[in-house]
């Protein structure tokens, strides 16, 4: 075996060998000189990349003449806002009951209940206004237009009827004023009870929580009374779902309401089937949800003119 002299290897590293006699050049050998040159080029490239990465990123482009976005104003959600919102719900219910009281074909018993319930909600609105003042807020003495536009008025349209307008199809009036009025009252009273139940965890002081609990309890009692009256018998006191049974729809597809529908107060959306059958043989389902951020009556909101 041939042995290489270390000095010869060092010389080869500095000066690569010449081509072979047959004209084929051997594989190139990296010299120390080339390593130093490559190292310097690498350092220069790394510096260039670092400088590019430190440059500020360009701002996002804009297309068209869109206005410059502005930050939304910040609003405070406090006890006064919650009380103002509850007051507005009371006025919305009062106005809805006024519409129901004028339904054609409404019986004496539902009409008498509407009169009594309207007085109850008016008194509750007055009490809430007093609480709002005591917390340093300005009472909100009108209906909640956000809830009216999206939840309550569409339901009322399917009781009183609505002509075709603005591309919307005509809505026929109810085919049973007593049935649908009682169902809608039950839904609105359940909504009020759920709203006050939710306020208990939102209000900041024990005194305010204790003050609103009776309002929720009164609405729950009214909802229970409506359930019993709508059934006309004693079978509507306790929902069979609480004792392992099933809630079965009647021969027209309506789910019955019960005085005690669940173990705890309902906080999920409340659905109520009302109105006459449409062209698809379906009835309208009204959905009520407790007030949230969009429906809050903040301090800078005033009653519409």
Comparison of pLDDT for 91 and 252, the residue scoring more = 91
Residue 57 domain flag: no
CB atoms within 10 A of CB 167: 5
For the chain, the C-alpha Rg in angstroms (whole number) is: 38
pLDDT tens column, 259-304: 888 777 777 899 999 999 888 888 999 999 999 999 999 999 999 8
Q: 25 or 261, which is more confident?
A: 261
Q: Report yes or no on 158 lying in a domain.
A: yes
- Please report the pLDDT score of residue 206 as a whole number: 97
Instruction: Answer for the pair 230, 183: CB distance below 8 angstroms, yes or no.
Output: yes
The more confident residue out of 202 and 245 is 202
| Residue 168: per-residue pLDDT | 79
pLDDT tens digits for 142-176?
999 999 999 999 999 999 999 888 777 789 999 99
Q: What is the pLDDT of residues 32-88, one digit of tens each?
A: 455 445 555 555 555 545 555 555 566 666 666 777 777 766 778 999 999 999 999
Identify which has the larger pLDDT, 113 or 9.
Answer: 113
CA-based nearest residue to 278, from 184, 182, 168:
168
**Residue 117: CATH number of its domain:** 1.20.1260.10
Residue 110 lies in a domain: yes
Distance of CA 218 to the CA centre of its chain: 26
pLDDT digits (tens, 9 = 90+) for 97-129: 999 999 999 999 999 999 999 999 999 999 999
Provide the residue range defining the domain that includes 136: 79-233+266-295
Whether 43 is covered by a domain: the verdict is no
Under 8 Å between Cβ of 206 and 229: no
Whether 136 maps to a domain, the answer reads yes
18 found inside a domain: no
User: CA-CA-CA-CA torsion for 90, 96, 98, 104, nearest 10 degrees?
Assistant: -160
> Distances from the Cα of 286 to the Cαs of 130, 188, 268, in angstroms?
32, 10, 14
pTM tops 0.95, yes or no: no
Q: How do residues 205-245 score in pLDDT, each as one tens digit?
A: 999 999 999 999 999 999 999 988 887 766 778 887 887 88
pLDDT at 47: 55
In this structure, is residue 117 part of a structural domain? yes
Reported as a single tens digit per residue, the pLDDT across 48-57 is: 455 555 555 6
| Distance of alpha carbon 68 from alpha carbon 78, whole angstroms | 31
Q: What are the phi and psi torsion angles at 287 (to 5°)?
A: -120, 125
Say how many Å lie between the first and final Cα of the chain, rounded. Answer: 109
Q: How far is CA 256 from CA 6, 13, 42, 230, in A?
A: 102, 97, 81, 9
Q: Count how many domains the chain has.
A: 1
Could you tell me if residue 244 is inside a domain? no
**pLDDT at residue 54, rounded to an integer:** 54
Q: Does residue 134 register a pLDDT over 90?
A: yes
- Residue 68 confidence (pLDDT): 75
Give the pLDDT confidence score for residue 28 in this predicted structure.
54
Torsion angle, alpha carbons of 227, 231, 232, 236, to 10: -70
The phi-psi region of residue 253 (left if phi > 0; otherwise alpha if psi is between -120 and 50; otherwise beta) is left
3-state per-residue secondary structure call for the chain: CCCCCHHHHHHHHHCCCCCCCCCCCCCCCCCHHHHHHHHHHHHHHHHHHHHHHHCCCCCCCCCCCCCCCCCCCCCCCCHHHHHHHHHHHHHHHHHHHHHHHCCCCCCHHHHHHHHHHHHHHHHHHHHHHHHHHHCCCCCCCCCCHHHHHHHHHHHHHHHHCECCECCECCECCCCCHHHHHHHHHHHHHHHHHHHHHHHHHHCCCHHHHHHHHHHHHHHHHHHHHHHHHHHCCHHHCECHHHHCCCCCCCCCCCCCCCCECCCCCCCCCEEEEECCCCCCCCCEEEEECCCCHHHCCCCCCCCCC
């Amino acid at each position: 075996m041939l042995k290489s002299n270390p000095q010869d290897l060092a010389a080869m590293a500095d000066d690569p060998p010449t081509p072979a006699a047959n004209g084929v050049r051997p594989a190139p050998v990296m010299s120390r000189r080339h390593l130093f040159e490559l190292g310097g080029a690498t350092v220069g490239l790394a510096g260039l990349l670092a400088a590019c990465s430190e440059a500020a990123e360009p701002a996002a482009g804009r297309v068209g003449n869109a206005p410059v976005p502005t930050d939304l104003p910040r609003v405070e959600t406090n006890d006064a806002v919650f009380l103002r919102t509850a007051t507005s719900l009371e006025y919305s219910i009062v106005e809805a009951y006024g519409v129901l009281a004028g339904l054609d074909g409404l019986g004496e018993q539902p009409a008498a209940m509407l009169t009594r319930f309207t007085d109850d909600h008016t008194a509750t609105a007055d009490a809430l206004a007093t609480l709002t003042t005591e917390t340093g807020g300005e009472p909100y003495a009108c209906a909640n237009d956000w809830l009216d536009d999206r939840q309550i008025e569409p339901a009322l349209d399917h009781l009183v009827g609505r002509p075709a307008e603005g591309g919307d199809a005509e809505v026929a009036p109810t085919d049973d004023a007593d049935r649908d009025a009682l169902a809608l009252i039950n839904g609105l009273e359940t909504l009020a009870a759920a709203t006050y139940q939710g306020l208990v965890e939102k209000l900041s002081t024990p005194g305010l929580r204790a003050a609103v609990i009776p309002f929720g309890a009164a609405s729950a009692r009214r909802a229970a009374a409506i359930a019993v009256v709508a059934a006309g018998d004693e079978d509507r006191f306790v929902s069979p779902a609480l004792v392992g049974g099933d809630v079965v729809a009647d021969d027209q597809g309506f789910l019955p309401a019960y005085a005690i529908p669940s173990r705890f107060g309902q906080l999920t959306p409340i659905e109520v089937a009302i109105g006459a059958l449409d062209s698809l043989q379906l009835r309208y389902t009204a959905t009520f949800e407790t007030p949230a951020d969009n429906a809050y009556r903040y301090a800078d909101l005033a009653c519409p003119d």
